[in-house]
Amino acid sequence: MKKLVGLVTVLAVAITPNLANANQTQQKINIVKSIYSEAKRTDDSMAAIMRHATPGLRNHYNRTTICDNDPLWGNQDPQTNAAVKVSNASNGRVKATFKQYGQTATNYFKFKCTGNTCKISDISFYSCE
């Protein structure tokens, strides 16, 4: 009986980090989906980003004048009706892929997670393919 209890304890300890990681991954994906959804509804992608950004990223955007392009869509006149595919990427990042003016565009979102809360710490836009 003691061996069975010990085995169950070992399995629980081994599985718990994987479940937490899976929950964080899904949370990150949901955040990116909600940002694009809100940006489509309101045409205010910066407000959507800022709501889910780390203090460092918010501070960066507050000090920077964005006049060339929208960091969510990668251009200054985004086609916000584009279908956005959001998926898990390497190194804990989340990838958003969409079409802009007939070309595929990709954003990578980097996150910082504390406990059960994840915030966007960086957005990297990769030029249209």
Q: What's the token pair of residue 127?
A: 């030029």
Assessment of whether the complete model's pTM goes beyond 0.85 = no
Q: What is the pLDDT of residue 75?
A: 85
pLDDT of 34-56, one tens digit each? 999 999 999 889 999 999 999 99
Residue 3 has pLDDT above 70, yes or no: no
The average pLDDT across 20-36 equals: 91
Domain spanning 44-125, CATH class:
alpha beta
Q: What's the token pair of residue 116?
A: 């059960």
Q: What is the pLDDT of residue 70?
A: 84
- CB neighbour list of residue 21: distance below 8 Å, 6 or more residues apart: none
Q: Give the integer Cα–Cα distance in Å for 90 and 99.
A: 21
Are the C-beta atoms of residues 75 and 69 closer than 8 Å to each other? yes
Q: What is the pLDDT of residue 2?
A: 64
> Across the strands, what pairs with 104?
99
Q: What is the pLDDT of residue 50?
A: 95
Q: In which order are the strands placed within the sheet that holds 117-126?
A: 85-88, 94-100, 103-114, 117-126
Q: What is the pLDDT of residue 14?
A: 46
Q: What is the pLDDT of residue 13?
A: 46
pLDDT of 56-107, one tens digit each? 999 988 887 666 678 899 888 899 999 999 999 989 999 999 999 999 999 9
User: By C-alpha distance, which of 104, 98, 106 is closest to 125?
Assistant: 106
